[in-house]
């Protein structure tokens, strides 16, 4: 599907974007891959990696600017939406800036994609969008709802939208692993709560989930990767087992555990090899056999939380991953 096509990724200079560009160029050989982002320095640095690759294009722009999005989407077949304001405390203290990017920006992209006759759009979501306790999660839940409903809103244009949802990306900018590595020599790690757990996913797993969504989607689905959990205290032990762990208390908007599928969504959720799929409730699309596609219905009391997960990442597992992925730690 993506082979010899024109692809645009918003937020394309971030951790996910850089990995997506590299892996997609190798696997699918698209005709054109456009990196749309607002940071000219990051674009300049990234462009140096693709000086001799005519498939890669760079476009300065902001998802808050609908007219700029329309210009960038000219001739584009597929879109990955990775642009977001995502740091939880930043969103708590700058709420409307987060809303302008994560909600208004999402609607701008939806309108621009429909007007430009884009075929399919996959947007990145987060575990914080399920039963959100912070502004970032609330904006991403609203964004998810917009992208699901956009399949009805697109009308005769036929543009299709779906969502992928997963947890903390291991080694990505602003995440706990590179932060702990950066302060390991101080001999002390700040721990918000020693009970805290998080879902963990690699960039490669996240990208593969996006590729799968493009292949499988009919429109309106939320794809949830089956991934392991890990205790924050175990992350600290994996990086520096002798370091002191200082309990500092939960930060504004932070949750003790994360959730990717709540009991409210269980009636619309189906299990597959390696992932779950939440089907859209609108228009009875949840009963559509094409969308169900041989999935196995989960129980009505099903919840997918980081604390009751059946798969866990151990201390030695993380140490091995850090050793094998030095270039994936920002």
**Which is the catalytic residue, given 66, 128, 225, 277?**
128
Token reading at 29? 């050989």
* CB atoms near residue 42 (< 10 Å): 17
Token reading at 161? 């939208």
Distance CA 201, CA 226 (A): 9
In the chain the first and final C-alpha atoms are separated, in Å, by: 32
Distance CA 178, CA 310 (A): 26
Token reading at 90? 């930043």
Token reading at 113? 């994609």
Given a contact cutoff of 8 angstroms between Cβ atoms, the answer to whether 11 and 84 are in contact is: yes
Query: Roughly what angle, to the nearest 10 degrees, separates helices 315-324 and 232-239?
Result: 60
Distance CA 125, CA 122 (A): 10
* Residue 128 appears among annotated catalytic residues: yes
**Phi, psi for residue 252 in degrees, rounded to 5:** -55, 125
Q: How many CA atoms does the CB half-sphere of 80 hold within 13 Å?
A: 30
Q: List residues with catalytic annotation.
A: 128
């Amino acid at each position: 599907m993506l082979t010899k096509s024109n692809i645009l990724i918003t937020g394309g200079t971030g951790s996910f974007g850089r990995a997506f560009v590299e892996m997609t160029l190798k696997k699918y050989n698209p005709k054109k891959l456009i990196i749309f982002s607002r940071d000219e320095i990051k674009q300049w640095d990234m462009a140096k990696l693709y000086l001799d690759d005519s498939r890669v294009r760079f476009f300065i722009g902001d998802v808050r600017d609908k007219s700029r999005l329309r210009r960038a989407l000219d001739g584009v077949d597929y879109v990955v939406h990775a642009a977001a304001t995502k740091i939880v405390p930043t969103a708590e203290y700058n709420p409307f800036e987060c809303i302008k990017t994560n909600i208004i920006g999402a609607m701008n992209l939806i309108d621009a994609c429909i007007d430009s006759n884009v075929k399919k759009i996959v947007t990145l979501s987060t575990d914080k969008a399920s039963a959100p306790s912070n502004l970032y999660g609330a904006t991403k839940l609203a964004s998810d709802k917009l992208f699901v409903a956009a399949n009805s809103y697109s009308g005769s244009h036929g543009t299709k939208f779906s969502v992928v949802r997963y947890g903390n990306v291991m080694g990505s900018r602003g995440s706990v692993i590179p932060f702990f590595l950066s302060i390991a020599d101080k001999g002390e790690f700040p721990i918000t709560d020693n009970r805290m757990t998080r879902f963990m996913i690699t960039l490669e797993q996240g990208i593969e989930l996006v590729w799968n969504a493009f292949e499988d989607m009919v429109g309106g689905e939320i794809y949830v990767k089956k991934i392991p959990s890990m205790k924050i205290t175990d992350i600290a032990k994996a990086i520096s087992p002798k370091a002191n762990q200082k309990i500092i208390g939960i930060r504004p908007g932070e949750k003790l555990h994360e959730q990717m599928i709540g009991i409210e969504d269980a009636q619309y959720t189906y299990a597959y090899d390696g992932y779950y799929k939440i089907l859209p409730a609108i228009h009875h699309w949840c009963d559509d056999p094409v969308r169900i596609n041989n999935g196995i219905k989960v129980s009505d009391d099903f919840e997918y939380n980081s604390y009751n997960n059946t798969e866990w990442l151990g201390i030695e597992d993380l140490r091995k991953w850090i050793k094998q992925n030095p270039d994936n730690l920002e």
